[in-house]
Amino acid sequence: MGQIGNFLGIPAIAGESALFQLFGYLQGGWTASWPTVLIGLLVVLIMLFWPKSWGRFVPGSLLGIIVATLVAVVTGWPVPNIGVIPRTILLDDRLTFATIPWGEMNSLLVPALSIAALGAVESLLCGAVGSKMTGIRLQANQELVAQGIGNIIIPFFGGVPATAAIARSSVGIKSGGQTRLVSIIHAVALLAAALLFGSVIALIPMSALAGVLMVTAVRMNEWHSIRFMFSHRFKTGIVTFLITFFATITLDLTQAILIGGIISAGVFINQVANLEIQVHPVDVERMRKRGMDIKTDARYMRVAYLTGPLFFAATNTFNEAFAHEEDVTVLILSMRGVPLIDLSGLEALIDLTEKMHAQGKTLMLAGVHAKVMYTIERAHLDDIIGKENFFWSADRAIMVAEMRHLHLQGIEVPDDVEPAEAPDPMAMPL
């Protein structure tokens, strides 16, 4: 949308967003420069029909710009071009240590942090797009540190804060670039061209550059992902896509990404918050068939199988699941399906433990993942529950609970059923 003016050879229509710019163009009152449009169309056609195999040696975008420039020069068409560019890397209007406004740091701090945050979002977005296009994992920390160092240095040369650009990165990838050297070669080539061939670059038509960016904008869209999402009718994905799309054209790209990210995070939390808890009585007959000597009917026991992360969005489900188990004296939580637990999950587990202890009941945990166990130990919850109440399987917990119950009834049990020292859950095979 920002290139329509250059493509048509008319002054760009100002607008707070792409949508308002489009409305401005649709209202009319302007006359296109047909030579300018023809130059832009020439670049578009070359990029669209240039064979991909040839693009490995000569990118279609570069060829289009060269041909368009030659046509403009030979025909003498009055098309806007880049014009005079500086032939130095040290501009007259640049920052120096003497001109740093140290006394205004308090008022500049918040705007500086805002620019840094927006730049980080833009660069990470560009990195994510590039990672998707190339299959190479983005080194986010390296990206942001390099950007920060660059933006600290560039004002001393007369530059302004910069970020990674999706359009230029996509052009590089689409043109066959495969490694991080693309950016270095790109920068060196531009610098050399500006210093050595500034008079030639000045002749490049603005509509030629507009054509390159427009084709790139279309190619940047992940059309296969969009078709897959709509053809399979993934409602949450479609809604998130459309909201982000309209936010992009009515607000700006950075705000749209933040809105889309917040919506995606909300959808994700809603989906993973479905903690499944199935509470069952002990199947005595099944255990006896497996060779386990269960002497009672085990009605005083319940085994709860938990599946899903135990975090803040799932604590209500957790609390409601055990609100009506008054007839139970032993509750065994099989947590083999719980990959993580957060602070809210720990608090819910502590509340359940204290509630059961106050009623003279016992809580046992079985099949606890190593990461979850680490979090439990950091909170010293293993001391509250009792290290002797952690087991590597629910069956083992049932057997120990059975022997303890018989012991309280005055019935002798074999000494080898329950070890004198509770094993370390962190060392247990899950």
Structure tokens at 183: 């950016």
What digits encode the pLDDT tens for the residues 189-234? 888 888 888 888 899 999 999 999 999 888 878 788 899 999 998 8
Average pLDDT of the residues in 402-420 = 66
What's the confidence (pLDDT) of residue 414?
Answer: 59
pLDDT confidence bin for 73, thresholds 50/70/90: very high
Domain boundary at 220, 253, 285, which? 220
Average pLDDT of the residues in 11-24 = 80
In a domain? residue 90: no
What DSSP string runs through 51-110? -HHHHTTS-HHHHHHHHHHHHHHHHT----B-------SS-SS---GGG--GGGHHHHHH
| 55 shares its domain with 201 | yes
In a domain? residue 130: no
| 289 shares its domain with 381 | yes
In a domain? residue 54: yes
Q: Residue 363 is inside which H or E element, if any? A: strand 362-366
CB 298 within 8 A of CB 402: yes
In a domain? residue 173: no
In degrees to the nearest 10, what's the CA dihedral of 261, 262, 268, 273? 160
Q: Which domain, by its residues, includes 66?
A: 1-83+178-220
| 308 shares its domain with 388 | yes
CATH number at residue 388: 3.30.750.24
What's the confidence (pLDDT) of residue 415?
Answer: 53
What's the confidence (pLDDT) of residue 421?
Answer: 38
| 214 shares its domain with 286 | no
Domain boundary at 220, 236, 253, which? 220
| Rama region for 128: left / alpha / beta (φ>0; ψ in -120 to 50; rest) | alpha
Average pLDDT of the residues in 398-402 = 89
| 288 shares its domain with 370 | yes
Average pLDDT of the residues in 162-169 = 81
In a domain? residue 237: no
CB 32 within 8 A of CB 176: no
Q: Phi then psi for 2, rounded to 5 degrees?
A: -75, -10
| 325 shares its domain with 422 | yes
Q: Is the pLDDT of residue 239 over 80?
A: yes
Q: Is the pLDDT of residue 99 over 80?
A: yes
In a domain? residue 115: no
What's the confidence (pLDDT) of residue 430?
Answer: 39
Average pLDDT of the residues in 370-376 = 93
| 211 shares its domain with 288 | no
| 281 shares its domain with 353 | yes
In a domain? residue 145: no
Q: Is the pLDDT of residue 422 over 70?
A: no
What digits encode the pLDDT tens for the residues 173-189? 877 777 878 888 888 98
| 303 shares its domain with 210 | no
Tell me the pTM: 0.59
What digits encode the pLDDT tens for the residues 193-202? 888 888 888 9
| 293 shares its domain with 363 | yes
Q: Is the pLDDT of residue 83 over 90?
A: no
**What's the domain count of the chain?**
2
| 285 shares its domain with 209 | no
In a domain? residue 22: yes
What digits encode the pLDDT tens for the residues 248-274? 888 877 788 788 888 888 888 777 777
- Percent of the chain's residues with pLDDT above 70: 95
| 315 shares its domain with 410 | yes
What digits encode the pLDDT tens for the residues 311-328? 888 888 898 888 777 778
Would you call 285 exposed, middle or buried from its count of C-beta atoms within 10 A (0-12, 13-18, 19+)?
exposed
Place of tokens 């949308």: 1
